Amino acid sequence: MSRTTLDLWVGLFVALGFAALVFLAVKVGSYTDAPGGATYTVEAAFDNIGGLKTRAPVKSAGVVVGRVGGIHFDSQSYRAIVRLDLQRRYEFPVDTSASILTSGLLGEQYIGLDPGADSEILEDGDKLQITQSAVVLEKLIGQFLFNKAAETPTHGASAQ
């Protein structure tokens, strides 16, 4: 095999390989968290985070604006402190509220941000003041049953 054919084949091979990588990078994957430096971090404290995991999406109006950077337990306030890495290009007022939501009935949990009306915007290291904990299904069911049980006697009375 001559040198030029060999070079041609290898060139084709390498080009194909990189094309595959580019395809994977562009079409299959997404750069969900922009490279470091382009995010800013705020913290939020929750009574209960339910099944929230690190790297879960942070959404506002349904658009992914950041990721959960870390979760730890604060033994002073007995609450969960969640670190949110938000993308630089998105700005939120300081009175924004964070709530833990579930996508679909059994889907993954994410954090939803509801912007407030303040004119000041959140800076790196700020804390979100208003938070709403995750809805825990067991508690919800428990509450439902409790309510039902409380209702039953009146029903029974009316039937009699």
Partner 1 sequence: MNALLRRIGAMTVDGVWRLGFMARFFLALLRCSGQSFRRLPLTIREIYFSGVLSLLIILVSGLFVGLVLGLQGYDILQRFGSSDALGIMVALSLLRELGPVVAGLLFASRAGSAVTAEIGLMKTTEQLQAMDMMAVNPIARVVAPRFWGGVISMPLLAAMFSAMGIFGGWLIGVVAIGVDDGAFWSQMRASVDFRYDIVNGTIKSFVFGVAVSLIAVFEGYDCQPTAEGVSRAITRTVVSSALAILALDFVLTSFMFRGL
Q: Is 158 in the site for partner 1 (CB under 8 A)?
A: no
Residue type, 61: A
Cα separation, 112 vs 124, whole angstroms: 18
> Please, what is the minimum distance in Å from the beta carbon of residue 8 to partner 1?
10
> Please, what is the minimum distance in Å from the beta carbon of residue 29 to partner 1?
4
Q: Which of 30, 154, 158, 160 contacts partner 1 by CB under 8 A?
A: 30
Residue 25, helix vs strand vs coil: helix
Which token pair is 71?
Answer: 């979760």
Q: Is 146 in the site for partner 1 (CB under 8 A)?
A: no
Number of neighbours of residue 93 by Cβ within 10 angstroms: 13
- Beta strand pairing status for 57-60 and 63-74? antiparallel
> How many binding residues for partner 1 (CB under 8 A)?
27
Cα separation, 48 vs 38, whole angstroms: 29
Q: Which stretch binds partner 1 (CB under 8 A): 52-60, 76-84, 86-94, 135-143?
A: 52-60
> Please, what is the minimum distance in Å from the beta carbon of residue 83 to partner 1?
14
- CB nearer to partner 1: pick between 94 and 101: 101
Cα separation, 48 vs 136, whole angstroms: 8
Q: Is 28 in the site for partner 1 (CB under 8 A)?
A: yes
Interior/surface letters 62-72, b for 16+ CB within 10 angstroms, e for the rest:
eeebbbbbeee
Q: Is 38 in the site for partner 1 (CB under 8 A)?
A: no
Q: Is 51 in the site for partner 1 (CB under 8 A)?
A: no
Name the residues that contact partner 1, by CB under 8 A: 1, 3, 6-7, 9-10, 12-14, 16-18, 20-21, 23-25, 27-33, 53-55
